[in-house]
């Protein structure tokens, strides 16, 4: 077992926070009228889409994509909101996340100049569904937008010792699960008649690479061996495998055999 000081030196804590003004709002008065009409208590909820401004909708999607990428290149901790990244890999993480942040800033810059007009036009556009209280001052709305990332060194003293051990185990478990899930999905696809997408191959290659780049925090030999043996099978192209059915099937069987030998199937 690694010392806690050594383990702490191998990782950094990373947090990613995003936020945006939400344009879907509950209209309580209309909800009450609908429930009254149908005798449904509070079963019905009337949700009003205040605006479908393209920049705002793009922001929601961007935040989801950013968080998905954040999760892909980090491991979990046992505390909500905190994930970990191997020391040194935060540079790669920061580069990727900074691109999302730049897009976030651009989209906010497109939406906020239009907000006063959207707010002024709302009584006509929404008619009886308009509720002025759902349209705050521009400064309030601007304050809802957030895209923040922080990197913190990981302490090892006191209660952090237990946190470290449990977090390392959680990270190891997720890494193994991601590796096995990607490999099993690719093997099943290759051995079957389903459509093969390049992403299935890329996903396995990606997780194999991560396993060898410091993400194998406890140096699990099974994870290391699986990644080493599976990676060469992930570098095919989907187009090539589609045109070579024998190779496709053989590759799927090899992946399954590796998982079986390592008792990961």
Distance CA 56, CA 47 (A): 17
Enclosing domain of residue 207: 160-261
Last residue of a domain, one of 153, 175, 190: 153
219 shares its domain with 254: yes
190 shares its domain with 149: no
Q: Is the pLDDT of residue 1 over 80?
A: no
Phi, psi of 180 (to 5 degrees): -65, -40
30 shares its domain with 142: yes
Q: What is the pLDDT of residue 51?
A: 97
Q: Is the pLDDT of residue 193 over 90?
A: no
Band (pLDDT 50/70/90 cuts) for residue 169 is: very high
| Mean pLDDT on 199-214 | 94
Half-sphere exposure of residue 200: CA atoms within 13 angstroms, side-chain side: 22
> Do the beta carbons of residue 171 and residue 217 sit within 8 Å?
yes
Q: Is the pLDDT of residue 174 over 80?
A: yes
DSSP codes, 72-131: HTSEE-SSTT-EEEETTTHHHHHHHHHHHHHHHHHHHHHHGGGHHHHHHHHHHHHGGG--
Could you report the per-residue pLDDT of 66-120, keeping only the tens digit for each? 999 999 999 999 999 999 999 989 999 999 999 999 999 999 999 999 999 999 9
Last residue of a domain, one of 127, 153, 179: 153
Distance CA 85, CA 92 (A): 10
116 shares its domain with 187: no
Distance CA 168, CA 232 (A): 27
252 shares its domain with 165: yes
141 shares its domain with 18: yes
Distance CA 140, CA 167 (A): 37
149 shares its domain with 171: no
Spatial neighbors of 169 by CB under 8 A, at least 6 apart, are 218
38 shares its domain with 139: yes
The total of structural domains in the chain comes to: 2
115 shares its domain with 200: no
Q: What is the pLDDT of residue 2?
A: 60
Q: What is the pLDDT of residue 160?
A: 87
Q: Is the pLDDT of residue 3 over 80?
A: no
Is 40 strand, coil or helix?
Answer: coil
Q: What is the pLDDT of residue 213?
A: 86
248 shares its domain with 129: no
223 shares its domain with 144: no
The helix or strand, by DSSP H or E, that contains position 13, with its residue range, turns out to be strand 11-19
- Planar angle of CA 192, 259, 179, nearest 5 degrees: 90
Which range, of 132-136, 154-158, 209-213, 241-245, averages the lowest pLDDT? 154-158
The helix or strand, by DSSP H or E, that contains position 141, with its residue range, turns out to be helix 138-142
| Mean pLDDT on 37-64 | 96
Q: What is the pLDDT of residue 161?
A: 87
Spatial neighbors of 139 by CB under 8 A, at least 6 apart, are none
Last residue of a domain, one of 107, 127, 153: 153
Distance CA 218, CA 220 (A): 5
* Mean predicted lDDT score pLDDT of the chain: 94
| Mean pLDDT on 154-165 | 87
Distance CA 45, CA 31 (A): 5
256 shares its domain with 223: yes
pTM, 2 dp: 0.88
């Amino acid at each position: 077992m690694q010392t806690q000081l050594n383990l702490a030196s191998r990782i950094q804590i990373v947090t990613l926070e995003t936020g945006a003004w939400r344009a879907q709002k509950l209209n309580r008065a209309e909800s009450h009228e609908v429930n009254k009409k149908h005798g449904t208590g509070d079963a019905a909820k009337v949700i009003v889409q205040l605006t479908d401004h393209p920049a705002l909708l793009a922001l929601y999607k961007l935040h989801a994509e950013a968080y998905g990428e954040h999760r892909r290149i980090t491991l979990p901790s046992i505390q909500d909101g905190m994930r970990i990244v191997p020391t040194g890999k935060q540079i790669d993480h920061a580069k990727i996340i900074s691109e999302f942040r730049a897009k976030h800033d651009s989209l906010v810059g497109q939406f906020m100049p239009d907000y006063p007009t959207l707010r002024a036009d709302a009584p006509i556009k929404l008619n009886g569904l308009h509720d002025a209280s759902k349209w705050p001052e521009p400064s309030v709305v601007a304050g809802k937008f957030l895209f923040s990332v922080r990197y913190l060194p990981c302490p090892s003293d006191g209660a952090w010792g237990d946190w470290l051990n449990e977090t390392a185990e959680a990270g190891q478990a997720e890494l193994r699960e991601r590796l096995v899930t990607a490999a099993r999905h690719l093997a099943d696809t290759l051995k079957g008649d389903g459509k093969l997408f390049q992403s299935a191959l890329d996903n396995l290659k990606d997780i194999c690479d991560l396993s060898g780049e410091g993400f194998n925090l406890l140096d699990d030999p099974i994870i290391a061996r699986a990644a080493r043996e599976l990676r060469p099978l992930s570098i095919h192209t989907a187009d090539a495998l589609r045109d070579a059915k024998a190779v496709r099937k053989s590759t799927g069987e090899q992946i399954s055999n590796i998982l079986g030998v390592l008792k990961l199937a």
